[in-house]
Amino acid sequence: MATFEIVLPDESPCDECGDAVPAGVYTCASCGANAFRLNFPEFYSHFERLKMMDARYGGLVLGRSDPADDVPMYICRDGGVYTLVGLMQGGEYIMSRAASTKHGSRLVDINSINGEATGIQFPLSSMSSVINTNFMPPYGGIWITEGQFIVNRYATKIHFEELEQLNSEANLELASQLFNEAEQDANDS
């Protein structure tokens, strides 16, 4: 009988300089960059205990608006290593990769708007995509993918409904494309 085995790498490349950083070390010896990461079992344990939330399809991030309590963002790298790549705050909107690719220039325009983001209230609907970090245990984070775009809090406040629409439409187009490809593969078999 076949057995399932997880093979974990002993090291992973630094996001800054590319040099190998051994597992269990959180600062790159070559450049001094932060190299905090989780291996697959650690990540899955965090995900299972709701200490990690899936933000790969985008949405409004709620909670954690204090800069001292930013939300860590993790990306899966080769070999099942999840690397800390940045921080974001509640009130910001993270776009899916599909929406970021399709509407990149519009998102740059929207994100160029700056101002004070006080008294934020969003017209949420049943179609809203929300990543609520309010109930996440301390040191929890979100799982993202390469190519996602983060819109600042003030621009999110001003353009929330448009961001929802752009993100939703791009995700639906991607889902439709993937379904059609799977259907074509099934017909070819």
Burial class (CB in 10 A: 0-12, 13-18, 19+), 156: buried
Q: At what angle do helices 104-111 and 153-188 cross, to 10 degrees?
A: 170
pLDDT digits (tens, 9 = 90+) for 74-118: 998 877 788 888 889 888 999 999 999 999 999 999 999 988 877
pLDDT digits (tens, 9 = 90+) for 6-42: 666 777 788 788 888 887 777 888 988 877 778 778 8
| Percent of the chain predicted with pLDDT > 90 | 34
Q: What is the pTM of this model?
A: 0.80
